[in-house]
């Protein structure tokens, strides 16, 4: 029975049913509702035994998680944006130590300039930290992915981050199912650590490894993620059998089978894209959309199989690599290497700019007309940008671009100080 609740609350309740023993988190928009809900559940005794630790920074949050997980406890935390970056060192440490921590990332842009709205630059900035990275296409999947994440984490001895679009998903109220406790218990057995801090069997964890062994240790981390690639589809299938709804897995396609044009995307824009695909198809155009749900490990073979027959591929990204271009599309290129499928990168939705059906249709019109550039920024205000570039070329030191642009848009009072 679904409840009409906020995405954050569905995640919090689902996480609670996964029986975390330690929850440690630092507040950052837009993840706060999740940890506030968990804090209330712990305080009210609804989630027990569980220690809720109010930490002094995100770096501390992940560090507390490391200590707790190394002691054999099931651990959960959540963050976004600047917070994810602030714990960067600890993220690498957690994955290097093989700790099965699960974390929600409420995707949000990275500053400067400071921006609290949704895009994927935070998780993308840490795509190689050794964590499994899953991207939820809607709130139901976001909640359900956490159950699968805890299971994946403890089976593969890897930390897992579940990415859900900040505000767009976290703050949306809609009909959502929260997995039942007995079903979660049946799906997710208690966590038994492979190696734990325990006086009855003392172990040294976190030793220095020199050149003679480091390569092997790092190779094994890669091998573990490849194991996860095998495990993820099985866990998703088992989830569907037990909970009677599909969620997770490596990829999620919608009307891709005979599609000439396939849009590849991550996260909640998948929903909007499904509407766009239906509208295109009603017009006789064969368009499909393919969601990447497991970004790390990256499903190279599965993606290749799914896109091999496409006429063209558009990778719609909510982040980009400054000085290079697409991030996801680089991996898509690798997956389709050798195949003659044209791939376009469209950067959209940065810093919370809405990705609308109208803009997506315009993009597809360009694609069908063959005039979509290889790298395209959707809805870029080119006049604004050109004026700023002209200012730079003039040689007068233009100051921070953000201030100039805001002044142009009339958001900031015009005129020199």
Partner 1 sequence: MVFEVRIHGRGGQGVVTAAELLSLAAFEEGLRAQAFPSFGSERMGAPVTAFCRISDLPIRLREPIAEPDAVVVQDPTLLHHVDVFGGLREQGFVLVNSKRTLAQLGLSELYDRHLPPRLRSTPASEIARERLGRPIANAALLGGLSALTAVVRLSSLVRAIEQRLPASVVEGNVLAARETYERVRSTLGEGHGALDGEATHA
Partner 2 sequence: MTHFYQTGTFAVGNRLLDEDAASVQADPARANSITKGHRACQGCGEALGARYALDAALRASGGQLIAANATGCLEVFSTPFPESSWRLPWIHSLFANAPAVATGIAAALRAQGRTDIRVVGQGGDGGTVDIGLACLSGMFERGDDVLYICYDNEAYMNTGVQRSAATPPAARTATTEPLGTHPGNAFGQGKNLPLIAMAHELPYVATATVAELRDLERKVERAMQLHGARYLHVLVPCPLGWGSATADTINIARLAKESGLFPVFEAEDGRVVRVSPIRRQVPVEDYLRRQKRYAHLFAGAGRPDVIAQLQASADRNIARFGLLADGGEEPAERDIGLLDVLATSERGAQ
User: Residue 201 or 417: which CB sits closer to partner 2?
Assistant: 201
CA dist., res. 401 & res. 360, Å (int):
27
| DSSP reduced 3-state for 104 | strand
Contact present, 317 and 120 (Cβ < 8 Å): yes
Distance CA 139, CA 104 (A): 12
If the CB atoms of residues 70 and 178 are measured against partner 2, the closer one turns out to be 70
Which of 29, 63, 225, 312 binds partner 1 (CB under 8 A)? It is: 29
Counting residues that bind partner 2 (by CB under 8 A) gives: 44
- Residue 173 is a binding residue for partner 1 (CB under 8 A): yes
- Beta 251-254 vs 287-292: how paired, if at all? antiparallel
Residue 402 to residue 408: CA distance in whole angstroms: 10
Instruction: Count Cβ atoms below 10 Å from residue 48 Cβ, excluding itself.
Output: 11
SS (H, E, C) 167-179: CCCCCCEEEECCC
**Tokens 């059998």 found at:** 241
Instruction: Name which of 84, 66, 91, 75 is nearest 30 in CA terms.
Output: 84
Out of 131, 167, 239, 320, point to the residue binding partner 1 (CB under 8 A).
167
Specify the stretch interacting with partner 2 by CB under 8 A; choose among 3-11, 64-72, 282-290, 325-333.
Answer: 64-72
Q: Which of 355, 364, 367, 378 binds partner 1 (CB under 8 A)?
A: 355
**What is the smallest separation between the CB atom of 196 and partner 1, expressed in angstroms?**
40
For position 216 contacting partner 2 by CB under 8 A, the verdict is: no
Decide: 268 and 120 in contact? Cβ < 8 Å. no
Quote the DSSP letter at residue 288.
E
Q: What are phi and psi of 260, to 5 degrees?
A: -75, -40
In whole angstroms, the minimum distance from the beta carbon of 94 to partner 2 comes to 9
Which residues, numbered 122-141, are part of the site for partner 1 (CB under 8 A)?
Answer: 138
Q: Which helix (H) or strand (E) holds 141?
A: helix 139-156
Strands 173-176 and 251-254: unpaired
Q: Compute the least distance from the CB of residue 365 to partner 1, in Å.
A: 18
Cα–Cα dist 7/28, whole Å: 16
Residue 85-124 contact track with partner 1, rule CB under 8 A, x = bound: -------------------------------x--------
Which entry of partner 1, partner 2, none binds 321, CB below 5 to 8 A by partner kind?
none
Q: Which of 271, 325, 342, 351 binds partner 1 (CB under 8 A)?
A: 271
Peptide bond connecting 113 to the previous residue in cis, omega within 30 degrees of 0:
yes
210 binds, among partner 2, partner 1, none (CB under 5 to 8 A by kind): partner 2
**Minimum Å distance from CB 170 to partner 2?**
25
Q: Which of partner 1, partner 2, none does residue 309 bind (CB under 5 to 8 Å by kind)? A: none
Query: Which part of the chain contacts partner 2 (CB under 8 A), choosing from 152-160, 206-214, 250-258, 277-285?
Result: 206-214
* Residue 97 in tokens: 């130590």
Which residues are at the interface with partner 2 (CB under 8 A)? 21-22, 24, 49-51, 53-57, 59-60, 63-73, 75, 89-90, 93, 97, 196-199, 201-210, 213
Which residues are at the interface with partner 1 (CB under 8 A)? 4, 6, 29, 116, 138, 165, 167-169, 171-175, 268-272, 274-275, 354-357
């Amino acid at each position: 029975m679904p409840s009409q609740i906020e995405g954050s609350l569905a995640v919090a309740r689902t996480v609670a049913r996964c029986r975390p023993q330690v929850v440690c988190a630092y507040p950052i928009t837009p993840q706060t509702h999740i940890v506030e809900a968990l804090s209330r559940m712990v305080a009210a005794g609804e989630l027990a035994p569980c220690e809720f630790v109010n930490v002094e920074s995100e770096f501390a949050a992940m560090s507390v998680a490391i200590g707790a997980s190394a002691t054999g406890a099931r651990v959960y935390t959540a963050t976004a944006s600047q917070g994810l970056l602030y714990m960067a060192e600890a993220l690498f440490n957690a994955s290097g130590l093989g700790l099965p921590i699960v974390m929600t990332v409420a995707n949000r842009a990275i500053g400067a300039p400071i921006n609290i709205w949704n895009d994927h630059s935070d998780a993308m900035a840490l795509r190689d930290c050794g964590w499994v990275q899953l991207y939820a296409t809607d709130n139901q999947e976001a909640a359900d992915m956490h159950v699968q994440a805890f299971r994946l984490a403890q089976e593969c001895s890897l930390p897992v981050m579940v990415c859900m679009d900040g505000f767009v998903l976290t703050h949306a109220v809609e009909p959502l199912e929260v997995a039942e406790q007995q079903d979660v218990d049946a799906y997710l057995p208690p966590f038994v650590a492979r190696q734990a801090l325990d006086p009855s069997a003392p172990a040294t964890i976190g030793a220095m490894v020199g050149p003679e062994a480091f390569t092997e240790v790092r190779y094994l981390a890669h091998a573990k993620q490849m194991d996860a690639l095998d495990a993820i589809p099985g866990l998703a299938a088992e989830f569907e059998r037990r909970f009677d709804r599909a969620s997770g897995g490596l990829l999620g396609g919608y009307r891709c089978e005979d599609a000439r044009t396939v849009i590849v995307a991550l996260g909640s824009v998948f929903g909007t894209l499904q509407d766009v695909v239906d509208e295109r198809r009603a017009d006789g155009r064969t368009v499909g959309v393919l969601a990447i749900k497991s970004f790390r490990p990256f499903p190279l073979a599965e993606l290749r199989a799914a896109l091999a027959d496409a006429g063209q591929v558009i990778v719609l990204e909510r982040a980009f690599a400054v000085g290079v271009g697409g991030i996801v599309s680089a991996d898509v290129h690798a997956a389709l290497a050798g195949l003659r499928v044209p791939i376009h990168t469209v950067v959209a939705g940065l810093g919370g700019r809405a990705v609308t059906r109208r803009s997506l249709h315009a993009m597809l019109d360009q694609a069908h007309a063959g005039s979509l550039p290889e790298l395209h920024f959707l809805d870029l205000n080119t006049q604004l940008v050109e004026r700023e570039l002209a200012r730079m070329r003039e040689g007068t030191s233009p100051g921070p671009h953000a201030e100039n642009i805001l002044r142009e848009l009339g958001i900031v009072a015009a005129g020199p100080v």
